[in-house]
Amino acid sequence: MEHDLPRTSSLLCLLFAAGLTSGQDGISDAGPFCENSGLQQLVAQPSGGVWGGPVDTAGVFDPSVGSAGSPYTVTYAWNDTLGNPLVDSVQIVVLAAPIVQIDSAGPLCENVGAQQLSASPTGGIWDGDLGAVDPSGLFNPIFGPQFSPYAVWYSITDTNGCSASDTLLIEVLTSPLPDVIEPLVLCPYDSIVQVMATPPGGSWSGDVDGQGNFDPSMGSGAYWGLYTVTDTNGCSGSSPATITVLDAIQAQLSPAGPFCADAADAFLWATPFFGTYGGAADSLGYFSPQSAGPGQHLVTYTYTCPGCCPTTDSLLLTV
């Protein structure tokens, strides 16, 4: 006698048509994924089924297909223990990742100081080689060209939890290092001097003219000049010059004479005191008409002091 078999396969076909599964079998929940999150392995039970939709044969889903077509339908088909076909499907949502861009920066001269970098959208975090950029995007080229170019990157996470970043290489250029030959210590009666500096071709500012010439007749005191050189890259470097003009207290001999040839020795008065006599006078400042004899005789008096310039006065004495 024949027996009718249960119509399981017909029921499962209905389940298949309805896109339903039984028990815990089927595709595990997946997503949403950020479009830049990389390949994602989907999981389904029992193993050995067939994947369908925008996945490969192993069930790997690539979110880089983008958010424009989201959600994406993925299916998984298998046979139960009785050989009846089953299928499950899921809708996978792909979220757009932030579009991040660092604004162009550099090349930068090593001595320009900290520079604020910018990027869009705002609100992200900065990082970079050697800590040359702080989290707010302030880049400091102080480490110099020896480590150039510097990689800096900017990352941001949006409200969906999707992250993106951008990277920029910043070149740091060598700045000129001019050198000024100093210190210059001058006297107010010195001639105009040119302050020397290297490399040539720079410009001067301050108490000197454009060629670095300084006139000591400006008087005693402290003066300065600044020598600046700009190279072919547009990088500049400066070096200061300190110029000191010392006091010069004028020595002065009081008038004396004429003297008779048989006159006694005469003391020659001079100011300031404690200077040095020279010429026809002795070291104490005395002039002897008898020793000098008839005619004209030159006497000098030089005065100097610590931190000041020597000055000399002269007097022509007649016997």
Q: Give residue-wise pLDDT tens across range 80-139.
A: 999 999 999 999 999 999 999 999 999 999 999 999 999 999 999 999 999 899 999 999
Residue 291 CA to residue 171 CA, distance in Å, equals: 83
Is 2 within a domain? no
pLDDT digits (tens, 9 = 90+) for 20-60: 445 579 999 999 999 999 999 999 999 999 999 999 999 99
**pLDDT recorded at residue 183:** 73
Domain enclosing residue 45, as ranges: 8-95
pLDDT digits (tens, 9 = 90+) for 287-304: 999 999 999 999 999 999
Same domain membership, residue 151 and residue 74: no
Q: What is the DSSP code (8-state) at residue 46?
A: S
In degrees rounded to 5, what are phi and psi of residue 56? Answer: -85, 180
Of 155, 173, 191, which marks where a domain is finished?
173
Is 32 within a domain? yes
Is 1 within a domain? no
CATH number at residue 198: 2.60.40
Mean pLDDT of the chain: 91
**pLDDT recorded at residue 23:** 57
Same domain membership, residue 81 and residue 112: no
Same domain membership, residue 77 and residue 26: yes
Same domain membership, residue 115 and residue 86: no
225: confidence class by pLDDT, cuts 50, 70, 90: very high
Same domain membership, residue 185 and residue 165: no
Residue of higher predicted confidence among 7 and 307: 307
Same domain membership, residue 28 and residue 58: yes
Same domain membership, residue 36 and residue 110: no
pLDDT digits (tens, 9 = 90+) for 11-20: 333 334 344 4
Instruction: Tell me how many domains the chain contains.
Output: 4
Whether pLDDT at 145 is above 60: yes
Of 114, 140, 173, which marks where a domain is finished?
173
Q: Which helix (H) or strand (E) holds 95?
A: strand 94-95
Same domain membership, residue 184 and residue 169: no
- Check: CB of residue 57 under 8 Å from CB of residue 42: no
Is 294 within a domain? yes
Of 95, 124, 149, which marks where a domain is finished?
95
Is 126 within a domain? yes
pTM here is: 0.66
Same domain membership, residue 138 and residue 62: no
